[in-house]
Structure 1
Amino acid sequence: MTQRPTSPRAPAHWLLPSLLLLLAIALGACSRETPEARLRQAVGALGEAIEARDAGAIEDWLAEDFIGPDAMDRDAARRMAALMFLRYRDIGVTLGPARTEMSGSHATVRFEALLTGGGGRLLPDSARAYQVESGWRLEDGEWRLTSVDWSGNR
């Protein structure tokens, strides 16, 4: 019986595929976003919808049972946004740092928002800072705004 000579390179046929598999697993784990990161993206996307003056896109982020100040429902929120978009040609939204409290599929996000509106000139016609508290719920893998309340800073 003859014995095959062993080579120090013999394990290479499984080493490279194993390293590639580990790299793919590591990259996959890194690309999965945490629920909090997805929530922060949702808050940012809602701000972008406001700046884009898209009342329909704003409504898309609202849960069916959304409730706002003075018992504002989802449809009233969309109508209020559309009215503001008619009043102000340019809308700007600057969000301050968010403080997020996660509790399973629910979250509360508090932040300061600076809203500006104007006619497209260099300076806005109107600017105001608000303290915002928003409630969010995870629905079918997407965060939806369930409630919002704000108070203006003077």
Structure 2
Amino acid sequence: MIGNRLWFWFAGGLLCLTLALPGCSRQPPEQALRAAIDELRQAIESRDARSLDNRLADDFIGPDGMDGEGAARTARLMFLRYRNVGVTLGPADVSINDRHATVRVEAMLTGGQGRVLPDAVRVYEVESGWRLDGDKWVLTSIRWEDGR
């Protein structure tokens, strides 16, 4: 009798775990990419250069041949210049092809020294390239144009 109850609870628990696992499985690619973009935005706003570096692919390429090290230096310079950095993104146009993606978005960047109004506000049209490395989306390229 006790053996049957134990088996019942074990089988019931296993069934519940099996039904719950799909909810714990990996996110769909676009959802995971959008989460990576948000993590990148949060890293910029929190002035977290290390998290920013972790999202750059080893073969990252930016404007004028900027590599990942150049991008990290540029970010650190911006973080030194502005105590408060803000990033507001418009709706993203996401195109995924297998393990690669292109994201187009309008971004407003603000920077300031803690006053009520930012010292600088710029709007850019941004196009970024992404690659799925294992289960992590990494930024492979970025280019931007003044959005005026």
TM-score by length of 1: 0.83
Given that residues 55 and 79 in structure 1 are in contact (C-alpha distance below 8 angstroms), is that contact kept between their aligned partners in structure 2? Answer: no
Gaps of 5+ in 2: 1-5
Larger radius of gyration: 1
SS in structure 2 of the partner of residue 27 of structure 1:
helix
Task: Tell me which amino acid in the other structure corresponds to 1:71.
Answer: G
Tell me the residue number matched to 1:120. Answer: 114
2:17 aligns with: 24
- Alpha-carbon distance in 2 for matches of 1:127, 1:77: 20
What is the one-letter code of the residue matched to 2:71?
Answer: A
Q: Give the aligned partner of residue 98 of structure 1.
A: 92
Name the CA distance, whole Å, in 2 between partners of 1:55 and 1:117: 16
RMSD: 2.0
Residues 106 and 147 in structure 2, CA contact (< 8 A), matched pair in contact too: no
Show the counterpart of 1:7: none
The 3-state SS of whatever aligns with 2:108 is strand
Give the distance between the partners of 2:106 and 2:115, measured in 1 at CA: 24
- Cα distance in 1 between the residues matched to 2:19 and 2:120: 48
Aligned to 1:139: 133
Asked if the contact 1:135–1:147 (Cα under 8 Å) also holds between the matched residues in 2, the reply is: yes
Is 1:62 the counterpart of 2:56? The answer is yes
TM-score, length-scaled by structure 2? 0.87
Aligned letter for 1:123?
L
Structure 1 unpaired stretches of 5+: 1-12
Distance 2:103 2:15 in 1: 36
Q: In the alignment, residue 93 of structure 1 is paired with which amino acid?
A: V
Correspondence list, 1:15-94, <5 A: 21-32=14-25, 33-94=27-88
How many residues are treated as equivalent by the alignment?
144
Q: How far does residue 25 in structure 1 lie from its aligned partner after superposition?
A: 3.1
User: Percent identity, aligned pairs only?
Assistant: 51
The 1-side partners of 2:7 and 2:107 are apart by 55
- Three-state SS of the structure 1 residue aligned to 2:33 is helix
TM-aligned CA deviation for residue 23 of structure 1: 4.2
Over 2 Å off, 4+ runs: 13-27
